[in-house]
Chains A and B, each alone.
Chain A
Amino acid sequence: MSISQIFLALLEEQPRHGYDLKRAYDEHLGADRPLAYGQVYSTLARLLKNGLVEVTGVEPGEGPDRKRYAITDAGVTDVDRWLRSPEKPEPYLQSTLYSKVVLALLTGRPANEVLDTQRAAHLRLMRELTRRKAGGDLADMLICDHALFHLEADLRWLELTAARLDDLTKAVRP
C-alpha cells in the first residue's frame, strides 16, 4: 500500500499534523496494522523534499514543535494520477500451496491431507472474519468481505485440486 499517496489524499481533504495523519490512517485504513510514528515522519519528510506537501504552520507543543502540513498543487496532481491508475492485478501464479501438493505427491505423502489441513485453516479464518464483520461497521464489513472473497477463491481451488488429485498424481509420478 502506498503510504505517500494515502497521506496526500488525506491532506487534500484538509491540512493536518503528523499525529492527525496517523490517527486518520489508523482509523480508516489501518485495519490491524497501525502506522509506526517513524514511518509517518519519514514519509512526510520525503513528500516535503519532493514538493508534494508544504508546512503551513508550526505550533509549539510539550515535546517537539508540531508542524501542520498541506498538500501542494504538485501533490494534488500526484494523488489524482494514483487514484486513476488501476492496481496491477495479482496473477497468483506462484502458489506455495500448489508447490506443497506437487511435492507431497512427488515424495509419496498424502496430498489430500495437505489440502484438507489447508481447507480447515482457511475456514477457521473465514469464521473469524465473519464474526468480526457481524460486530463491525461498514468499513469493517468491506475489509472483511475483501479478505473473505479471496479466501473463498482459495477454497474453490482446494476443492478443485482435491477432485483432480488422481490426474495430478499420474502427471507427477507417471
Chain B
Amino acid sequence: MTTTGDGALLHAEDLRKAYGPTPALDGASFTIRAGEVVAVMGPSGSGKSTLLHALAGIIRTDSGRIVYGDRELSAMSDSERSALRRSDFGFVFQFGQLVPELTCLENVALPLRLGGVPRRTATERAGQWLDRLEVGDVAGKRPGQVSGGQGQRIAVARALVTTPRIIFADEPTGALDSLNGERVMQLFTDAARQSGAAVILVTHEARVAAYSDREIVVRDGRTRDDRLAAQQ
C-alpha cells in the first residue's frame, strides 16, 4: 500500500453531500496518516457521522474526492468499495451491532470466515483478540448475555481481527458509562496502535477524544484541522 505524496493514508478534499435541501457536508476536507488516531468532533447534526460514512465509502458524496493510498475511492464501483471495506477497513459502532445468533467468538471470527480464512485459524485468531480485549471469558456467550462494555470490546476485537489499515469508529462508547467507556477506549487505542491501524473516531465527548493524537472539528458540514491550524 502506498500513501499519497504528503504521507496521507486517506485524503478527502472538498466533500459535499446534501440530504434534500440540507447540506450535511459543505466542503469538508480530511487527511489521516498511517497509524494515527484522529478524533472527529462537533455538535449533533454537524455532519461528523456523514463524514465518517463518506470516508469509509459507505455513502457516496455529491462531489469531492477521496483518495485511499493510491486509489480513488470516490471513483470506485459499489462492489469495489465493498471489497475494500472488507479487506482494509474495520468498523465499530455505538451499539456493537453484533450478530445475536452467534457466540461472541463466532462474531469476531466472522469477518475472517467471510474473507475465506479456514475455520480453525479464524477461531484461533478471534480467541486471541478476545483475550487481548480482556473478554476471553465470554467467548462462548451470545451478545445478549454480555454487558454493554463487554459487547463493545467484542466489537473492537471484530474490527481489529482482520488487521485493517483504518478503523472507523462512530461514538464507540456512546452507550457506556464513563468507567466502562474509558476502559474500552484504552484497550481500543492501545490495540490499534500496536497493530499499526489508523483510527477515525467520531465522538462528541472530549474525554473520549482525549485518547486520540489530534482532532478535527466539524461545524455545519465544514472541517477545521488542528494540524493545519498549528502550521499557520
Contacts and interface: CB of A to CB of B under 8 A. Distances in A.
A30 to B, nearest CB: 24
Contacts of A40: none
Contacts of B219: 162
Nearest to A127: B210
A119 to B, nearest CB: 8
A48 interface: no
| Contact size range, B | 10 to 19
A148 B210 contact: yes
B210 A123 contact: yes
Interface of B: 43, 186, 205-207, 209-213, 215, 217, 219, 224, 226, 229
Contacts of A142: none
B211 A116 contact: no
Contacts, number: 37
A156 B204 CA distance: 10
A163 interface: yes
B206 A163 contact: no
A123 B215 contact: yes
Secondary structure at the A interface, as helix, strand, loop or mixed, is helix
13 contacts: A120-B215, A120-B226, A123-B206, A126-B209, A127-B211, A127-B213, A129-B210, A130-B210, A134-B186, A149-B207, A155-B206, A159-B43, A163-B43
By CB atoms of chain A within 10 A, which of B205, B209, B210 has the most? B210
A68 interface: no
A62 B221 CA distance: 70
Contacts of B186: 134
A55 interface: no
A123 to B, nearest CB: 6
Interface of A: 116, 119-120, 122-123, 126-127, 129-130, 134, 148-149, 151-152, 155-156, 159, 162-163
A120 B213 CA distance: 12
Contacts of B224: 116
Given A123-B210, A130-B211, A152-B206, 20 more contacts: A116-B229, A119-B217, A120-B215, A122-B206, A123-B206, A123-B209, A123-B215, A126-B210, A127-B212, A127-B213, A129-B210, A130-B207, A130-B210, A148-B207, A148-B210, A149-B207, A151-B206, A156-B206, A159-B43, A162-B219
Contacts of B229: 116, 120
A116 B217 CA distance: 9
- What are the 9 closest A-B residue pairs judged by CB atoms, nearest first? A126-B210, A130-B210, A155-B206, A152-B206, A127-B210, A120-B226, A152-B207, A148-B207, A130-B211
